[in-house]
């Protein structure tokens, strides 16, 4: 399927909105709810294609998951050893999180499984999880050693490890944590830079023996997970498009309510504030152990920055929309430490550089850096490469460009942000 959007200049965003639930937490809610003993009630679940794919897979593995209403799930957990074999392939769709976390979980089961994904996911590197899991005793075969389909061979005895993830990746870390739950003894997992800690937090809140500080986790195998309630806040990665749009479009003033503001996710807010963005957090509170806030954003004149490299893991999914902000700021923005962007749903450096150049921006890239000279943008025809965050980034760029912007291949936006076009329109974006 190929979906085309058209965007044009907006005269301002206004109103109070909520965005769909956090994608990372939604995947984990399904996984840990399934492994818990008893009934886990989930609210704020992301009704996206990625997270629904994960839920469907657990259905295939014998877990009953009810949908009492949209954004809610009741998961009838089967316990750590209650999953059942399924000889049919388990389809993760577009979701790297689904596939990498499930690899960690399934390699510890007594049965074999096959994980498959869509064309994009089938090109994304899996050796980063396979190699580390093999060090624990797992057996996984992949196409060319690196790509889906993944044949995960069960029946292995996993041993605890002391291991570094090697790459700043919450997916790799989480795959190792899932496997470590089944190993006999204590594992120590470290990261080169701290990444989102939702897996650790959820394990702890469901009663698993785990202790952690940023970038360093000790976990015991062989515990039990108690079922509980999981309340999922709005996804800051989805809010990011509206936040950046409101900063860039003159006369805007919006408030986004109930947004997850875990410090491992708020790098974009820090970067935009450094650029002069007027972003205020209100009503800061804790919900299910996660910091949550309402975010007010007003139009601001933005200045270029040198993006501190240590912020990159905390805004890894927001780099594309950050590049749009840079292209419309005063001065030259430098960003480095971006290599991971090349292995996302598309090569996000290449996708953004090509699109911004088509809109008239001056942009330079190296394998892991981007330099953007701020200026004006004009409408153009843009290829989204079936990447949800590229499509939404250029939908925002189109609001600030002269003429019409035509966006090709926007079909995958529903993986993370169902209802984006309707919400964007009601806020004042010109998008159809």
**Integer CA distances (angstroms), 206 to 38, 217, 220, 265, 337, in order:** 11, 16, 14, 22, 35
Tokens (6 digits) for 206: 């469901």
Cβ contact 19:242 at 8 Å? yes
Cβ contact 187:218 at 8 Å? yes
Residue 97 or 238: the one with the smaller Cβ distance to ligand S3P is: 97
Is 317 marked active-site? yes
Residue 171 or 300: the one with the smaller Cβ distance to ligand S3P is: 171
Exposed, middle or buried, 217 (CB in 10 Å: 0-12/13-18/19+)? buried
Residue 13 or 172: the one with the smaller Cβ distance to ligand S3P is: 172
Residue 316 or 421: the one with the smaller Cβ distance to ligand S3P is: 316
Residue 94 or 399: the one with the smaller Cβ distance to ligand S3P is: 94
Residue 319 or 353: the one with the smaller Cβ distance to ligand S3P is: 319
Where on the chain is the footprint of ligand S3P (CB under 6 A)?
Answer: 24, 96-97, 169-171, 174, 196, 316-317, 340
Minimum distance from residue 165 beta carbon to ligand S3P (Å): 9
Cβ contact 133:103 at 8 Å? yes
Catalytic pick among 317, 347, 368, 387: 317
How far apart CA 332 and CA 351 sit, in angstroms, is 20
- CA proximity to 70, closest of 88, 96, 52: 52
Q: What is the CA radius of gyration of the chain?
A: 21
Residue 52 or 196: the one with the smaller Cβ distance to ligand S3P is: 196
Minimum distance from residue 96 beta carbon to ligand S3P (Å): 6
Name every residue whose Cβ is closer than 8 Å to that of residue 103 and which is 6 or more positions away in sequence: 115, 126, 129, 130, 133, 140, 150, 152, 175
Evaluated on CA atoms 405, 411, 417, 419, the torsion sign reads positive
Minimum distance from residue 277 beta carbon to ligand S3P (Å): 22
Tokens (6 digits) for 148: 């889906």
How far apart CA 329 and CA 333 sit, in angstroms, is 8
Q: Which residues pair with 77 in a beta bridge?
A: 38
How far apart CA 191 and CA 342 sit, in angstroms, is 20
Minimum distance from residue 169 beta carbon to ligand S3P (Å): 3
Minimum distance from residue 350 beta carbon to ligand S3P (Å): 17
Q: What phi and psi values does residue 239 have, to the nearest 5 degrees?
A: -55, -30
Tokens (6 digits) for 376: 């004006």
Minimum distance from residue 58 beta carbon to ligand S3P (Å): 16
Tally of CA atoms within 13 A in the half-sphere of 82 that contains its CB: 20
Residue 73 or 299: the one with the smaller Cβ distance to ligand S3P is: 73
Preceding peptide of 149 cis, ω within 30°: yes
Minimum distance from residue 197 beta carbon to ligand S3P (Å): 10
Minimum distance from residue 425 beta carbon to ligand S3P (Å): 25
Active site members = 317
């Amino acid at each position: 399927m190929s979906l085309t959007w058209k965007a044009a200049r907006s005269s301002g965003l206004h109103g109070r909105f909520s965005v769909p639930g956090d994608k990372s937490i939604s995947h984990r809610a399904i996984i840990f709810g399934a492994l818990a003993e008893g009934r886990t009630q989930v609210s704020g679940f992301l009704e996206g294609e990625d997270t629904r794919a994960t839920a469907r897979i657990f259905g295939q593995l014998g877990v009953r998951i009810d949908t009492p209403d949209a954004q809610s799930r009741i998961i009838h957990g089967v316990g750590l050893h209650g999953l059942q074999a399924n000889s049919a392939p388990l389809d993760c769709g577009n979701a790297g999180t689904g596939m990498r976390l499930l690899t960690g979980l399934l390699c510890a089961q007594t049965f074999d499984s096959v994980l498959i994904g869509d064309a994009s996911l089938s090109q994304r590197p899996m050796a980063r999880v396979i190699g580390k899991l093999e060090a624990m005793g797992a057996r996984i075969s992949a196409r060319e050693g690196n790509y889906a389909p993944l044949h995960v061979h069960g029946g292995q005895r996993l041993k605890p490890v002391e291991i570094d993830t090697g790459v700043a990746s919450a997916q790799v870390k989480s795959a190792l944590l899932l496997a470590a739950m089944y190993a006999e003894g204590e594992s120590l997992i470290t990261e080169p830079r701290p990444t989102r800690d939702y897996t650790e937090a959820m394990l702890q809140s469901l009663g698993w023996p785990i202790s952690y500080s940023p970038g360093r986790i000790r976990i015991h195998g062989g515990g039990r997970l108690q079922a509980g309630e999981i309340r999922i806040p709005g996804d800051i990665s989805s809010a990011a498009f509206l936040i950046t749009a409101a900063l860039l479009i003159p006369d805007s003033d919006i408030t986004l309510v109930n947004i997850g503001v875990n410090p491992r996710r708020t790098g974009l807010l820090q970067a935009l504030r450094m650029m002069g963005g007027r972003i205020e957090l209100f009503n800061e509170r804790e919900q299910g152990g996660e910091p949550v806030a309402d975010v007010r954003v007003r139009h601001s004149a933005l200045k270029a920055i040198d993006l501190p490299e240590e912020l990159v893991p905390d805004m890894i999914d927001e780099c594309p929309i950050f590049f749009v902000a840079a292209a419309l700021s005063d001065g030259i923005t430098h960003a480095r430490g971006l290599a991971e962007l090349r292995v996302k749903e598309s090569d996000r450096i290449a996708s953004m550089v090509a699109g911004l150049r088509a809109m008239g921006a001056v942009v330079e890239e190296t394998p892991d850096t981007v330099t953007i000279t701020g200026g004006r943008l004009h409408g153009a025809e843009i290829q989204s490469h079936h990447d949800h965050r590229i499509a939404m980034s250029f939908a925002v760029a189109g609001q600030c460009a002269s003429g019409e912007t035509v966006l090709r291949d926007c079909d995958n936006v529903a993986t993370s942000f169902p209802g984006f076009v309707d919400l964007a329109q009601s806020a004042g974006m010109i998008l159809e």
